[in-house]
Amino acid sequence: MAVRACGLIIYRRLQSAPSSRVTDGIEYLLLQTSYGTHHWTPPKGHVDPGEDDLQTAFRETQEEAGLQASQLTLIEGYKKELHYPAHGKPKTVVYWLAEVKDCNTEIKLSEEHQAFQWLKLEDACKFAEYEDMQATLKEAHEFLCSKK
């Protein structure tokens, strides 16, 4: 049976973006795991019994980054499923896109993570080593750019 996890790709818009391009002021939140290879990822985690996917995404974001659902705006129309092997088993991860309402909101990490960064798309893709995660970040960015 496939392992199922859900999470949120969280972004903020910096008010001080100097250029007229809306997308230049967008930064994505990535968390660095405190276990394994210390990879960087958006907040995500396994679905608990009786929970739906979106509930899981919000719960995991609260647990891992200290962000409450009330501090986020879920972006309609974006949902991405990734499929890859993890520890020899198939894994499915579902991501939604969410904006932090206040770009100065404090991030509070759990023990699962040792660091976080707000990163522009290019840097976020460098930190996110996995190609499917890089592609997902780019796709989310393009989605945001098309919404103006």
- Burial bucket for residue 25 (CB in 10 Å: 0-12, 13-18, 19+): middle
Number of domains in the chain: 1
Q: Which two tokens stand for residue 20?
A: 């007229």
Mean residue pLDDT of the chain comes to: 92
Mean pLDDT of 115-124: 97
- Specify the pLDDT at position 29: 98
53-96 pLDDT, tens digit each: 999 999 999 999 999 999 999 999 999 999 998 889 999 999 99
- pTM of the prediction? 0.92
Domain that holds residue 129: 3-14+23-146
CATH number of the domain within which 62 lies: 3.90.79.10
38-47 pLDDT, tens digit each: 999 999 999 9
What does the angle CA 71 – CA 76 – CA 82 come to, to the nearest 5 degrees?
95
